[in-house]
Amino acid sequence: MTDTMRDGMNSQTQGQLIADEIRRAYRGNAWHGPALSELLAGLTQEEALQRPIPAAHNIWELALHITSWSNIVLRRLTGGNPAPYDGEDWPEPGEWSDAHWAAIVEALGESHERLCEVVTGLRDEDLRKNAPQSENSVAVMLHGVAQHGAYHGGQIALLRKVVTTKHRRTAL
């Protein structure tokens, strides 16, 4: 690591560093590989709805789930209800259309961006406090958002390979 990189890291607050980790998991330049936005880019609603593994969630459902948890964590940070509402953990897919799929992808990005804006302003003492209804700190919860995105991003990456290969092969 160069001195310039080390100096840049030292001048950032913990909130800024965690927000950067969450942004990388969503936007890109993540250490683990393609970020969520990269994995969802160019997918059609038809591809997102395919269920190549019958007992597993599809890409559409995963995108809704990831968005939900970003919103739940944001609510926890801003004094809202810390518990997921009924059906919020794995929301119903709703209308199946290209416009709705585009709105889901946009909502995922917006939820992560709103969360990052709040996290950037957190002080170290805020990050050390327990998260609402948790024995873990706010910092652990926030690192969990990035880890959650990476975990489900891996699932999306595998599903994407199957559905885009299958879809494009049948389209030929």
Residue 41: its pLDDT value, please? 96
SS3 sequence of 78-98: CCCCCCCCCCCCCCCCCCCCH
Judged by average pLDDT, the poorest of 2-11, 62-71, 74-83, 152-161 is: 2-11
Fold type of domain 3-171: Four Helix Bundle (Hemerythrin (Met), subunit A) (1.20.120)
Residue 122: its pLDDT value, please? 97
Is 95 or 73 the better-scoring residue by pLDDT?
A: 73
pLDDT, tens digit (0-9, with 9 covering 90-100), for 90-108: 999 888 999 999 999 999 9
Whole-angstrom Cα distance, residue 151 to residue 146? 9
pLDDT, tens digit (0-9, with 9 covering 90-100), for 12-71: 999 999 999 999 999 988 888 899 999 999 999 999 999 999 999 999 999 999 999 999
Whole-angstrom Cα distance, residue 101 to residue 110? 14
Query: Which sequence spans correspond to the domains of the chain?
Result: 3-171
Residue 34: its pLDDT value, please? 92
Please name the residue that has the structure tokens 């406090």. Answer: 129
Task: Please give the mean pLDDT across all residues of the chain.
Answer: 91
Is 142 or 171 the better-scoring residue by pLDDT?
A: 142
Is the pLDDT at 121 greater than 50? The verdict is: yes
SS3 sequence of 41-87: CCCCHHHHHCCCCCCCCCHHHHHHHHHHHHHHHHHHHCCCCCCCCCC
Residue 144's pLDDT band, with cuts at 50, 70 and 90, is: very high
Contact present, 23 and 112 (Cβ < 8 Å): yes
Residue 67: its pLDDT value, please? 98
Residue 172: its pLDDT value, please? 41
